[in-house]
Amino acid sequence: MSSGQESVFSEYETDTSQTSKLLRKFKETPFVPIGMAGFAMVVGYGLYRLKHRGDMKMSLHLIHMRVAAQGFVVGAITCGVLYSMLREYVVKPKE
């Protein structure tokens, strides 16, 4: 690599703090953190309801919790894909 050549990863080298990298990533794909937060909320609620499940078997309760958490994440990712397609193809940015 020649000394006059600019680095390919210059954008990532100048942005060194983990917080700024995380914030930049959240701005690029806003529905991924929403999906992660929803997943955590569904799992937290499911664990809270684990005490009060009544006569339901634990395996059935865990299956319902897993399906709900996965459904939330898939829904958030789908919304993110639709949002990015809308932004890219329908509302085209001026170049």
* Domain edges within the chain: 8-54, 56-94
pLDDT cut 70: percent of the chain above it: 80
- The Cα 45–Cα 35 span in angstroms is 15
CB of 57 within 8 A of CB of 49? no
Confidence (pLDDT) at 4: 54
**The predicted structure's pLDDT at residue 14:** 59
What local confidence, expressed as pLDDT, does residue 67 receive?
92
Q: Which residue has the higher pLDDT, 93 or 51?
A: 51
Q: Is the pLDDT assigned to residue 51 strictly greater than 70?
A: yes
**Whether the predicted pLDDT of 8 surpasses 80:** no
- Which residue intervals of the chain are DSSP H helices? 10-14, 18-28, 31-49, 58-85
Mean pLDDT, the chain, whole residue set: 79
